[in-house]
Amino acid sequence: MDSLKVRIKRRLEVYLELDMDGIRKFIIDILLRLKRLTVDQLFKELNKKFKISFSAVASTMGYIHSKLGILHAYKESYKTPIVYSLKEEYVDIVESALNKSTAKPS
């Protein structure tokens, strides 16, 4: 595994270790399952299980995109929402980090 992937995996593991209420793991799991989504779609999914604001969901997606580097963001035009998708080269790393964080006793 090259050094960039090692750094991204470590960042993701730390990000998930700091998850106190399960929201981060839930978001990563949704990204793995759906592969592509908007902030609005994620907000609707999260609100079924957690009480969270739209702006918190948007900032979380922005953080994952900019700091973790596992997402691709695409905006067709200024009128359409940003579509986030999980980069294919990181799917195995994300699955591994999620399984590692889930296996740890809380």
* Average pLDDT of the chain, as a whole number: 90
User: Rounded to whole angstroms, how far apart are CA atoms 10 and 6?
Assistant: 6
User: Rounded to whole angstroms, how far apart are CA atoms 20 and 23?
Assistant: 8
Task: Record the pTM.
Answer: 0.85
Residue 105, pLDDT > 90, answer no
The answer to whether 23 touches 52, Cβ cutoff 8 Å, is: yes
The CATH number linked to 39 is 1.10.10.10
Domain count for the chain: 1
Strands laid side by side in the 71-74 sheet: 36-37, 83-86, 71-74
How does pLDDT run across 39-74, given as a tens digit for each residue? Answer: 999 999 999 999 999 999 999 999 999 999 999 999
Domain limits for position 67: 3-103
- The neighbouring-strand residues paired with 85 are 36, 72
